[in-house]
């Protein structure tokens, strides 16, 4: 079993009478790409701010590398970095200078390290341009560059694909996987997109209204139960007739396509059934919105 390098115990934060985060117990293991999933306003950023000592918890504790994050702040934060909410920089400084200033707060950074970080995120050609000329996507990438600059053991990324175009999102996902696989960096990634977490994470936790509603391996949380699939098939009438003959398929709705609910492990079987039945299947896609997922996990057990 992997060693837990980030652990929160009973972590809570109250603003006035409102609990932003309540009794949160997270466990992130070394080498994990840990997805921290929740809708906007669920308390993800508040949790990250408490982990990174920006907010004082109302109660509970954060331990990173076995040390209390507040009491041994310096030693803990020398091995952690990240982005908290949107990446903000000194607009009047160049990308290079921003990294130099931020990186040197952790340790002495060499010119080659700064250039390497800029190279990784694809901003090497804009190294000497002032950040005020950067688009949101470029700032987002620069945010990742500053997070990985000092080669921390734990990188915390708060909604790193927010505001990026599909190509930018893909690049960030690839970067996360590369950091994890090639550098062994543990990644804590918050997102409100289930597909994003599913694409990169091996473990995940789901937060809603400040409370943990599920935590465990992504395969267990997403793969074990029944799921919704959207099928584009022709002729549709023939398909509906075939589906009715199979009681393990629940037809949920019929429109341009057919939406069904089946056990996830039987998806390939259903696809094969339709094709061997002489039907033209032009699309067979899992339909996993965060809302659907919440409905599913709140119906069932609260923790895996």
Partner 1 sequence: MSLFSIEVKKTFRRWRTYIGFVVVAGAVILLEVIIKLNEARMAQNFSHGMSGDFLISGSMLNAWVITAFIMNSLYIHVPFLVALVAGDMVSSEATSGTLRFILIRPPSRSKIFTAKFFAMLFYTALLILFMGTLCIGIGLAFFGGGDLIRFQTSMPHIVILPAHDAAMSTVLAFIAAILSMSVVGSLAFLFSTLVDNSIGPIIGSIAVVIISFVIGSLPFEFLESLRPYLFTTYMGIWQLLLNSPVDWGEVGKYALALLGYDAVFFAIACFVFVRKDIKS
Residues that bind partner 1 (CB under 8 A): 49, 52-56, 73-75, 77-78, 80-82, 84-93, 97, 100-102, 104-106, 108, 146
Q: Looking at beta carbons only, is 97 or 261 nearer to partner 1? A: 97
Q: Looking at beta carbons only, is 75 or 289 nearer to partner 1? A: 75
The three-state (H, E, C) secondary structure of 80-94, written as one string: EEEECCCCCCCCCCE
Could you give the CA distance from residue 10 to residue 26 in angstroms, rounded to a whole number? 9
Q: Looking at beta carbons only, is 114 or 218 nearer to partner 1? A: 114
Least separation, in Å, of the C-beta of 147 and partner 1? 10
Least separation, in Å, of the C-beta of 104 and partner 1? 4
Q: Looking at beta carbons only, is 63 or 287 nearer to partner 1? A: 63
Q: Looking at beta carbons only, is 18 or 108 nearer to partner 1? A: 108
Least separation, in Å, of the C-beta of 13 and partner 1? 9
Q: Looking at beta carbons only, is 92 or 248 nearer to partner 1? A: 92
Q: Note if the bond before 91 is cis, omega within 30 degrees.
A: no
User: What contacts 295, CB < 8 A, 6 or more positions away?
Assistant: none
Least separation, in Å, of the C-beta of 245 and partner 1? 58
User: What contacts 111, CB < 8 A, 6 or more positions away?
Assistant: none
Q: Looking at beta carbons only, is 37 or 52 nearer to partner 1? A: 52
Least separation, in Å, of the C-beta of 22 and partner 1? 17
Cα–Cα–Cα angle for 271, 221, 162, rounded to 5 degrees: 95
Q: Are 11 and 64 in contact (CB under 8 A)?
A: no
Q: Are 38 and 30 in contact (CB under 8 A)?
A: no
Least separation, in Å, of the C-beta of 153 and partner 1? 13
Please provide residue 208's backbone torsions phi and psi, each rounded to the nearest 5 degrees.
Answer: -145, 130
Least separation, in Å, of the C-beta of 140 and partner 1? 13
Buried b (16+ CB within 10 A) or exposed e, 207-231: bbebbbbbbbebeebbeeeebbbbb
């Amino acid at each position: 079993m992997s060693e837990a390098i980030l652990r929160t115990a009973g972590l809570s934060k109250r603003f006035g009478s409102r609990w932003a985060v309540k009794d949160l117990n997270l466990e992130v293991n070394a080498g994990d790409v840990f997805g921290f999933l929740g809708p906007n306003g669920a308390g993800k950023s508040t949790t990250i701010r408490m982990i990174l000592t920006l907010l004082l918890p109302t109660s509970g504790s954060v331990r990173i590398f076995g040390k209390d994050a507040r009491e041994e702040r310096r030693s803990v934060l020398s091995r952690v970095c990240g982005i908290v909410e949107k990446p903000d920089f000194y607009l009047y400084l160049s990308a290079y200078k921003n990294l130099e200033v931020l990186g040197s707060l952790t340790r002495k950074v060499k010119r080659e390290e700064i250039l390497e970080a800029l190279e990784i995120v694809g901003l090497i050609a804009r190294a000497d341009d002032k950040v005020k000329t950067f688009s949101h996507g470029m700032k987002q990438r620069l945010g990742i560059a500053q997070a990985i600059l000092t080669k921390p053991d734990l990188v915390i990324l708060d909604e790193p694909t927010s505001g990026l175009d599909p190509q930018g999102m893909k690049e960030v996902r690839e970067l996360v996987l590369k950091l994890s696989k090639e550098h062994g960096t543990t990644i804590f990634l918050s997102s409100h997109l289930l597909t994003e977490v599913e694409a990169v994470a091996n473990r995940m936790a789901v937060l809603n209204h400040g409370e943990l509603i599920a935590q465990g391996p992504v395969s267990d949380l997403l793969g074990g139960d029944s799921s919704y699939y959207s099928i584009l098939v022709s002729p549709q009438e023939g398909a509906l007739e075939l589906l009715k003959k199979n009681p393990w398929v629940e037809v949920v709705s019929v429109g341009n396509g057919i939406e069904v609910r089946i056990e996830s492990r039987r998806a390939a079987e259903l696809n094969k059934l339709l094709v061997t039945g002489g039907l033209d299947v032009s699309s067979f896609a899992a339909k996993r919105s965060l809302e659907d997922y919440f409905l599913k996990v709140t119906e069932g057990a609260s923790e895996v």
